[in-house]
């Protein structure tokens, strides 16, 4: 009863709504199918519980499921940690080094970024993951990475069970012609299955095997990507910022030397910033240990330089066709329909004659619409606009700066 009371009064109980999204629905369905089929195949057709090996195998399958769900739900419900609304640095002189977030009505702390999905500034944001329907950041980075490790391990175990189940049950029925393959079938012949291995059971096992192998490959690749990020103490967003810093320095031929401030020089030290025995990552999400040649605002200063440079290098376009903001605009041609980016970026409706100041590429753009008086990020069909042949970006940038 006490446990139920604690659950009901849990301050983040409203976060349960995160389950109502295609990402968690698919992820939890895959976990449920692979886990349940592995358990059924083990105790009914392959490895009964009345043997020592069968009991150990069953316990391992249960442990995989519990550990995977534990880290998955922690990654989802603990969350990345958010910068307090209206946050300001203690030292007023630091205001000039930070970006201001209009949505949160506060300054963005170092390493934080605003997530449009969560509608908050996220501490040490790496990315917004649709599979957990939440951001991966400071507080849940360890849980998320542990889930990425445990899911392939559990699916690999389940895949072995599926393969052995199908092989042992079809051994007497189908001649595989594997004269060189010798598998001990004595343990299997000592017991009679509780029910025959029927065609539906075979189809379900084969389907679960496909899910398990696909998950092992896909999630395993994500795990290696995240470990690369953690060992460098560099988020995916920060890696992109570093690339743009090198591009900016090379473009303007400056003599600057950009040193990434959060790499502590040792993979072990970087690893311990995320993984701790207590499960709580080091730091408060506001201040961070930095490289000896850097300071707390090295990266934020570089971000401000890139933001100014982005405005300078912006290109002005004019809308020549109307676009209603459809997700897959078939009316704009088959070529546009099939090249529509598979992204959750918002679609930007356009009216003929709109002036657009593009500050990124031609697929996913950061735009300034003078008619709307605001900066909008998103996507629209390239055929709907044409590049202006006169240079008015400077005047538009001046008015844009007044809004920013």
Residue 77: closest CA among 151, 12, 3: 12
Domain boundary assignment for the chain:
11-80+140-231, 92-119+234-305, 314-403
State residue 8's pLDDT score: 39
Whether the predicted pLDDT of 201 surpasses 80? yes
State pLDDT tens for residues 292-351: 999 999 999 999 999 888 878 778 888 888 888 888 787 787 777 777 777 667 788 888
pTM passes above 0.95: no
State pLDDT tens for residues 249-258: 988 888 888 9
pLDDT top residue among 157 and 6? 157
pLDDT band for position 4 (cuts 50, 70, 90): very low
Give the CA distances from residue 324 to residues 252, 319, 345, 380, in Å, rounded to whole numbers and listed in that order.
Answer: 39, 12, 15, 9
Contact, 213 vs 159, CB < 8 A? yes
Whether the predicted pLDDT of 185 surpasses 70? no
Give the CA distances from residue 399 to residues 314, 315, 352, 359, 396, in Å, rounded to whole numbers and listed in that order.
Answer: 14, 15, 22, 15, 5
State residue 32's pLDDT score: 96
Whether the predicted pLDDT of 7 surpasses 60? no
State residue 172's pLDDT score: 57
What residues pair up with 319 in beta bridges, in sequence order? 385
What residues pair up with 115 in beta bridges, in sequence order? 120
Q: What is the DSSP string of 58-69?
A: HHHHHHHHHHHH
Contact, 287 vs 321, CB < 8 A? no
Contact, 237 vs 126, CB < 8 A? yes
Question: What gap in Å lies between CA 71 and CA 131, rounded to an integer?
Answer: 13
- Residues acting as catalytic residues: 129
State residue 152's pLDDT score: 97
Give the range among 10-24, 125-139, 188-202, 226-240 with minimum mean pLDDT: 188-202
Q: Is 314-403 a domain of CATH 1.20.1560.10?
A: no
State pLDDT tens for residues 367-378: 545 444 456 777
Whether the predicted pLDDT of 365 surpasses 50? no
84-112 average pLDDT score: 94
CA 321 centroid distance within chain: 35
Contact, 385 vs 318, CB < 8 A? yes
Question: What gap in Å lies between CA 132 and CA 316, rounded to an integer?
Answer: 38
Residue 373 Rama label (left phi>0; alpha psi -120 to 50; beta): left
Residue 234: closest CA among 260, 272, 259: 260
Residue 360: closest CA among 279, 254, 261, 240: 240
pLDDT band for position 5 (cuts 50, 70, 90): very low
Whether the predicted pLDDT of 34 surpasses 50? yes
Contact, 34 vs 155, CB < 8 A? yes
The two structure tokens encoding residue 233: 């103490």
Give whichever of 127-131, 168-172, 307-311, 366-370 has the largest mean pLDDT: 127-131
Share above pLDDT 70 across residues of the chain, in percent, rounded to a whole number: 81
pLDDT top residue among 394 and 390? 390
Contact, 285 vs 135, CB < 8 A? no
């Amino acid at each position: 009863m006490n446990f139920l009371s604690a659950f009901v009064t849990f301050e983040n109980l409203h976060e349960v709504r995160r389950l109502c999204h295609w990402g968690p629905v698919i992820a939890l369905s895959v976990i449920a199918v692979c886990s349940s089929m592995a358990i059924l195949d083990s105790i009914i057709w392959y490895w009964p519980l009345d043997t020592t090996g069968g009991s150990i195998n069953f316990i391992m399958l249960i442990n995989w499921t519990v550990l995977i769900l534990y880290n998955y739900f922690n990654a989802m419900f603990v969350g990345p940690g958010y910068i307090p609304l209206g946050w300001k640095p203690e030292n007023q002189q630091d205001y000039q080094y930070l970006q201001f977030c209009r949505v949160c009505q506060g300054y963005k702390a170092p390493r934080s970024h605003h997530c449009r999905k969560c509608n908050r500034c996220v501490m040490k944001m790496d990315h917004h993951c649709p599979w957990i329907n939440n951001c991966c950041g400071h507080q849940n980075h360890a849980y998320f990475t542990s889930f990425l490790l445990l899911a392939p391990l559990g699916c690999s175990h389940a895949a072995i069970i599926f393969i052995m189940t199908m092989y042992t049950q079809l051994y007497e029925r189908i001649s595989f012609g594997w004269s060189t393959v010798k598998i001990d079938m004595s343990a299997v012949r000592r017991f009679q299955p509780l029910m025959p291995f029927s065609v539906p059971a075979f189809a379900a096992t084969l389907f679960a095997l496909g899910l398990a192998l696909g998950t092992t490959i896909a999630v395993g690749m994500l795990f290696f990507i995240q470990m690369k990020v953690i060992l460098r103490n560099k988020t995916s967003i920060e890696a992109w910022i570093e690339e743009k810093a090198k591009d900016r320095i090379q473009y303007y031929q400056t003599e600057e030397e950009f040193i990434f401030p959060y790499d502590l020089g040792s993979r072990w030290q970087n690893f311990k910033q995320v993984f701790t025995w207590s499960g709580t990552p080091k730091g408060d999400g506001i201040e961070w240990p930095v490289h000896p040649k850097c300071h707390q605002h090295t990266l934020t200063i570089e971000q401000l330089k890139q933001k100014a440079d982005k405005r300078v290098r912006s290109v002005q376009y004019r809308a020549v066709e109307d676009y209603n903001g459809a997700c897959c605009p078939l009316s704009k041609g088959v070529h546009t329909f099939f090249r529509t980016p598979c992204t959750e970026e918002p679609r930007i409706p356009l009216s003929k004659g709109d002036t657009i100041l593009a500050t990124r590429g031609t697929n996913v753009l950061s735009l300034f619409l003078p008619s709307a008086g605001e900066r909008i990020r998103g996507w629209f069909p390239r055929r709907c606009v044409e590049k202006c042949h006169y240079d008015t970006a400077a005047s538009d940038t001046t008015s844009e700066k007044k809004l920013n």
